[in-house]
Structure 1
Amino acid sequence: MIKILLVDDHPIVREGIIKILHRQPDIETVIEAETSKEALSHLKTSQFNVVILDISLPDKNGLLTLEQIKHDYPGLPVLILSMYTEEEYAIQSLKLGASGYLTKKALPDELLKAIQKIAAGGKYITATLAEKLACELDRKSDKPLYKYLTNREFHVMEMIVAGRTPKEIAELLTLSVRTINTYRSNIMEKLQLRNNAELVRYAIENKLFDK
C-alpha cells in the first residue's frame, strides 16, 4: 500500500488531488502539509512511499525543500506537481533528485500513473520533457554553454550582468517580472550557475560583453 505526503498550500487544490488519489485502491493514506516546515515535520515522524510537492510554498521554495528532502531521505521518491511549465523548472527538479515532474494541467489518470511508477522505484517524465532531456544529452561538450542561450536569453543575461533588476528589465522589454525571472532561471540552468554573482563572473571569464 502507498502512503503519500501531499505538500501544497492551497486547500482546494489538496482536496481535488486527494479525491483523485482515492480512486486508486492501493493508496492507503494521504497526509497533508501546507508548508515546507510542516512537511519536514511529518517526514520526521512518519514513513511515506511518495511525496507530492508543489514548488510555490509560503515559507520556503519547493526546490529548496526538495533538496533538503533528498539530503535527509535520499531513497524517498518525490513527484513535483506544479503550476509552472516543464520549461521553467522540470530539468532543475530532476537534477535535484525529483523522480518526476507534472504540471497541474495534467489529467488525473496521468497523476495516478506517475505515482504508481515512482512508488515502484521508477522515474516519470512526459514525452515533451523526455525530448528536452535528449537535447540536453546531445549537446557537444566542446561548445560553450552560452551558445545554447536564445537571443532573448542572451539579451536578458547582458542586462542582469549590467546590474539591472528584474523589474527594470521587464519595463525595458515590455514583459512581466515573472517572465524575466523565467528567463533568468533558464539562463542559470543552461549555464549551470546558481546566482547572479556566478553569472557576472562567467560573463567576465568568457569576455561576453567586453566593449
Structure 2
Amino acid sequence: MDAEFWHSRWAENRIGFHLDDTNPILVKHWPAISHSREDVVLVPMCGKSVDLTWLAEKHNKVVGVELSDIAVRAFFAEHFYTPMVTSLGGSQTLYEFDEISIYCGDFFATNIDPVDVVYDRAALIAMPQDMRQQYADKLLSLVKPGGRILLVTLDYPQHEMDGPPFSVTQQEVEALFSQCKVTHLDRDDADETHPRRKRGLTRFAEEVWLIEA
C-alpha cells in the first residue's frame, strides 16, 4: 500500500469511496455479529466514515485506524466533536471523543488492545494482492479468540479496472482467513446503471462475509 497515494487522495479530496450515509450493508448484516454493547469494535482504514457514529450508538467503544490526518480531523469537525488529541510518539496520534477513538497513522504499526469485533468495509480491498496476507495476519492479531469480523469485498474482473479498490475472490478470502470459520452472508450484483458498470466493467458485486476467529 502506497501511503503517499492515500495522502494525496485525501489532500485532493478524491474520495469517491467515501459514503455520506451509513452503509446499508452494515445496517443489514451487523446482527450476524451477535454483538453486545460491551463489545469493542475496530474499524481499520476508517477514513471519515459516518459508520463510526452508527456503531458508537450501539457500542461503548469504537476504535478506528486511519492513515490520513485530513480524514481524521474532518470526521470530528463534520460531527462537531472536539476530540482529546494525544501524541503517541513516532508518527501516531490518538483522537478520542466519547465512545470513538481514532488512531492516526500506519495500520501495520498500530498497537491496540485486542478487540471483540471488526468491521472492514474498505481496508482489505484497498490492499494490493502482495500485502493482503500481511494485512489479514495483522488484523487477526488484533482480534480476541472467538472474535468476529464483518468483511465487505468486491468481485469484478481485475483486468478490466485498476485498483484500488481491488477485487478479492471467495477463494482468496478463504485462504487469507484459513484458520477461521468463513461464512458467505450476501452478494449484491450491480446492474448496468451502476457507475462502475457504466465505466465498462462486465460485472461488479459487493460480497459480505462473517469471519469467526
User: Which structure has the greater CA radius of gyration?
Assistant: 1
Bigger proportion of residues as strand = 2
Bigger proportion of residues as helix = 1
| TM-score using structure 2 length | 0.36
Larger RCO (CA under 8 A, 6+ residues apart): 2
| TM-score using structure 1 length | 0.36
